[in-house]
Structure 1
Amino acid sequence: MEREDFIRLASPGGQLLLDELVYSSDKDVLKMVAGLRKAGHDPMTVAAALTQAKLRKRAIAKFGDFASSMLFTEAGLEQASRLKVAALHAGRFRAAGIKEVADLGCGIGAESMALAALDIKVRAFEIDEVTAAVATYNLAAFENVKVELADVEKLDLSQFEALFLDPARRELNGPKKAEAQRHFDPANYSPNFDFCLAAARSKPTGIKLGPGHDKRQIPNDAEAQWVSVEGDLVELGLWFGSLKRENLARSALLVTADGQHEITSSESESPNAPLGELGKYVYEPDNSLIRSRLISDFAAPLGLQIISP
């Protein structure tokens, strides 16, 4: 989204257009756009609103009914936490008795939304002007959130009680910023991974990373939790200080419509599950178990074995 697009969408005319525009792949988009232009709507506003309608449709998977009243950027929606996962993050802060959190790199505001919903005071920081404006729009209903435009690496972190970081792993390229490029090197994250770790060792901190993050880079003083939602592996969370559960190094969490299912370990590594012959049934473990290398912890109590090393 360009700055001018946000201004158009935030205008009274843009808001009215967003309210009446519902995107569906079954609709004749050209006919719909032609009708809106014939009704007197500005072509650039129509284009921006149509893009938002498409993003809102995609965002339902992450935000449910809330998506219909939010604004999104392409990269922001891609990286944003599912609301149910963000709620789990926020629950950790509340369980630790934390009253204020700095959301460093807040994106479109998903984590701040979940924290604010639990009456935690949030200071949300974002380096990109348009993304910060989108977050401000999405968080307008919460009086306990303040969104600020800032480079988080230049902030004095001593002023905050606790931190949450979701370093940007994507950036938009091209004249229309329509292509999201994913970064795999932690040195290219924004803020970079070393900064995140240094910040995490100063106070209670949560760091959200991609689930494929190199396990060799997970520090020994963190709790590492791989989270899967309905079988879709969505993140690796690192938790420090009072947010880290006692005597727990790794966990695999599966979130389903039926609830939460978790396998945990106090060790940073587990031995391989025993190798055996093909039996009557074959079970494919959830990706959170595979990525966390907790298969043997899951298999041993059930008497299961793997059929391939």
Structure 2
Amino acid sequence: MPEAASAPTAPAAQRATIGDSEFDRDTALTPREPGVYDIDLSAGWTIISAVNGGYLLAVLGRALADALPHSDPFTISAHYLTASQPGPAVVRTDVVRTGRTLSTGQASLFQYDDQGREVERIRVLASYGDLDALPDDVRTTAKPPAFPPLEHCFGPETASDIRLPSGGPAPVDGSSAIADRLMLKLDPSTLGWALGQPSGNGEMRAWFGLADGRDADPLSLLLAVDALPPTAFEIGISGWVPTVELTVHIRCRPAPGPLRVSITTRNLAGGFLEEDAEVWDSADRLVAQSRQLARVRLG
């Protein structure tokens, strides 16, 4: 197993903490009335010209954590209806059911068009519980992904170092801003696409963390599953790969330290592909899993 490594971030005295980081500030919501929240979606989490889907999921995940009697997402499924842009948005939540160990709710994020009309961007259905109350018993055949230590992996330190394939929406100022907010070190064996030599394998692996040193928690795991470059790049397909649907399962609270994220695609057909992600913490525990359906712009 790879040894746990410390993220190359600011000195310990300057590292952000859970609840006091850029991620926390940029996912914070202002209650308008019970179940309704306002937020200004930050341009700091954009890729190409749209807000990253994992960041959006964390925003709605935080709203549901406030609206439901339980605070930890266990499973959350999102349908991305229209592309979100930086700027004002409103989140509306609805409590579907509350129980002793699980509570279920739904939430939608809306923005406004040029005529001031609300446009729904994303809708989620989720069940929440208490991760700390789960039993310790684990019986699994899953194994942590094997790839090089963090210091031997590739990590663009600024957004300008990322070589995005062409074919997506035209980049705008701050279009790769999310890269500045992530500690992302990619396994060299999944980087053929960046060198113009994609392997043809639908695989992407990386060490993951937040650039300000904030440790992971259940909400930031919702970002982690959707923060790596698309597996389509390594298949040899360039361009934008928008998410249609994303389901995330949070299995336990992550230990401090960088995460290992492994994403695979087995089937591309009819202009759609699936991405299966696993997230492992520094204690070699599987802390999150996800599957998403994404559209591929072919030819």
Interval of TM-score (by shorter of Structure 1 and Structure 2): under 0.3
Higher helix share: 1
Structure possessing the higher radius of gyration over alpha carbons:
1
TM-score, normalization: structure 1?
0.23
Highest RCO, 1 vs 2 (Cα 8 Å, sep ≥ 6): 2
